[in-house]
Amino acid sequence: MAVRRIPVRALHETVANRIREMIRKGELTTGQRIVEKRLCEELGVSRTPLREALRTLSSEGLVELVPNRGAFVSRPTMAEVRDMFEAMSVLEGTCARLAARRMSETDLERLERLHRRLEQAYADRDPESYIQVNHAYHTLVQKAAGNRTLDGILSGLRHKAFLHRYRQLYQPDRFQASMEEHRRLMDAFRRRDPEAAERLMREHLINQCEALVYLYESSADTPAEGV
């Protein structure tokens, strides 16, 4: 297998992004031990940036570092998944409310462009593109809220939630429901309606959570029960 070399700049961040992608795509599964030597060979890096990346992912809750045993892909409990999306719904709802009031016309135009890309990804039945654009959409709403404290808290949660947000699109009818929720949310931003934007964003996150719970309960890759 050909070695895929990674640019030197921000090497550990690039490695962390690649491992997030591998987890999201199922190339690394929950509970799996991460074999450092094999991953270094695949990514074409030394162990130093890999270990820095693993520490970053550990702080995000995606990887568990076990003394004398190594690194493992975290296996969240169902309660942790619910707690995470409950917190995200409140925080992102607040961001949506503030963004509806504060976003500039330029921000609104950028949001419109991202919305059109979501529509195209949906029309193409391309969940990979949809989730990437969706990530950019939610990040823009977060930035447009203009609250640095909220931005910092949500940025920490976003990487961890990204994996789950991707998976829930494969729940039957969830792709269509997600697009419809985004249409209503975009309309609230166009109308500069903070109350509607907050309510719709919170409902969007809760619906994601419910789809995930159903998916995990019917899947072999189910988070552990317990607290």
d(CA 179, CA 175): 6
d(CA 23, CA 1): 20
Q: Band of the pLDDT at 226, cuts 50, 70, 90?
A: very low
Q: Band of the pLDDT at 62, cuts 50, 70, 90?
A: confident
Please give the domain boundaries of the chain with CATH numbers for all domains.
11-73 (1.10.10.10), 78-217 (1.20.120.530)
Which pLDDT score, from 0 to 100, does residue 225 have? 41
* Average pLDDT of span 63-87: 87
Q: Which of 89, 134, 91 is nearest to 115 (CA)?
A: 134
Q: Which residue has the higher pLDDT, 92 or 157?
A: 92
Instruction: Give yes or no for residue 221 having a pLDDT over 70.
Output: no
d(CA 154, CA 201): 14
Q: Which residue has the higher pLDDT, 122 or 155?
A: 122
Instruction: Give yes or no for residue 103 having a pLDDT over 50.
Output: yes
Are 181 and 83 within 8 A, CB to CB?
no
Q: Which of 166, 126, 163, 135 is nearest to 23 (CA)?
A: 163
Q: Band of the pLDDT at 219, cuts 50, 70, 90?
A: low
The encoded tokens of residue 146 equal 């203009």
Which pLDDT score, from 0 to 100, does residue 227 have? 26
Instruction: Give yes or no for residue 92 having a pLDDT over 90.
Output: yes
Which pLDDT score, from 0 to 100, does residue 52 have? 92
Strands of 33-34's sheet, edge to edge? 33-34, 70-73, 63-66
Instruction: Give yes or no for residue 1 having a pLDDT over 70.
Output: no
Partnered with residue 72 across adjacent β-strands are 33, 64
Instruction: Give yes or no for residue 64 having a pLDDT over 70.
Output: yes
Which pLDDT score, from 0 to 100, does residue 3 have? 52
The per-residue pLDDT of the chain, averaged, comes to 86
Which pLDDT score, from 0 to 100, does residue 2 have? 52
Instruction: Give yes or no for residue 149 having a pLDDT over 50.
Output: yes
SS3 content of the chain, % helix, strand, coil (to 5): 70, 5, 25
Task: Kindly provide the b/e burial profile for residues 37-50, where b requires at least 16 CB atoms within 10 angstroms of the residue's own CB.
Answer: eebbeebebeeebb
